[in-house]
Amino acid sequence: MKTNFTIFCFAFVLLVSAEVSGRPLSSDIDKLTADEMAPLALEDSMYYHFDEWFERFQGEINRLESATPSTENRVELMKYYFNYTGLLGELTHALAFTSKYQDTKIAANFILYSNRVKDLAHEVLDDDSKSIEQEAEADLFLGAAEGYIGIFEYGQGNLFQALVNGFQADNHLEKALLLNPNLVDGYFGLGMYRYGNSRLGGISNFIMQGAKDLRQVGLDHIERAILKKASSLPLALKTLAWFYISEQINPKNKNLPSEHPLSQHKTRQNAWALLIELENRYFKGSAPHPHFRGNKEIAMMKALQYVLDNDYNKAGIEF
């Protein structure tokens, strides 16, 4: 997929005000499914608004754990476990840009709920009564949970375990998309995997991808998830922006012509387009929560981009 992502981003910004209908009322949120709650919770994580969603997810988990066992209930419970896991991951990420870098209780809960996702996904996959759609969703969430654990293990220095989790994540995400191409969040996961392995290189990339440079494949996968408005949209936008910032200082790109998609010229354009979209989509106008004073991760990305642009005055303001 070789779309002009810069043009897409600026055009997409113009559509934001027409597409965003506002936050649902509390009574309406109570009636939403796990799939419908997930993007709202991820968007709120941009404003460091976590507590409400932990309570909502835990309430639904309690309800489903007490409900009559069925494949449908297992799938929905699996999704709430994953939503809880994802929010824990974003909380840990936010703490890295605010006060603490690590919190052992959060890390323990992250692994606990990730394993609950895996256990339920395996139960659904082993259920002969499952539908194709349920099988695809089980593969998607199993792959996503394995990917989350792989990132955690890598951060803990457990490289072999991270490699194993990554391999399993890749397989399940591909199966999910094969069964149901509309599960576009799978492209985000695969994109992170393809790009990350290529950047890490070494034995991991040799074993998993035959030592191929699949950076552009990974970036295209994430772009596809964005174009299809995946429920993980805030994460996909931030991740792609970080990747394009990092590509500007990647020695592999040093002698690329300006028209090459990984050249410093193109990656700078795409990084700024994504940063502008993030600002317009989530931070333009009044904040949805009174406590919010600004997103430190976005400020960090802008500061680094200004440094790369040799605009140190603006970089200093963001820092």
Question: What are 58-104's pLDDT values in tens digits?
Answer: 999 999 999 998 999 999 999 999 999 999 988 887 776 554 455 67
Question: Is the pLDDT confidence value at 13 over 50?
Answer: no
pLDDT band at residue 16 under the 50/70/90 scheme:
very low
Give the number of other CB atoms < 10 A from CB of residue 18: 7
Give the number of other CB atoms < 10 A from CB of residue 27: 7
For the stretch 253-311, pLDDT in tens is 999 999 999 999 999 999 999 999 999 999 988 778 888 989 999 999 999 999 999 99
Contact call for residues 165 and 149 (beta carbons, < 8 A): yes
Question: Is the pLDDT confidence value at 19 over 60?
Answer: no
Q: Is the pTM of this model over 0.75?
A: yes
Question: Is the pLDDT confidence value at 226 over 80?
Answer: yes
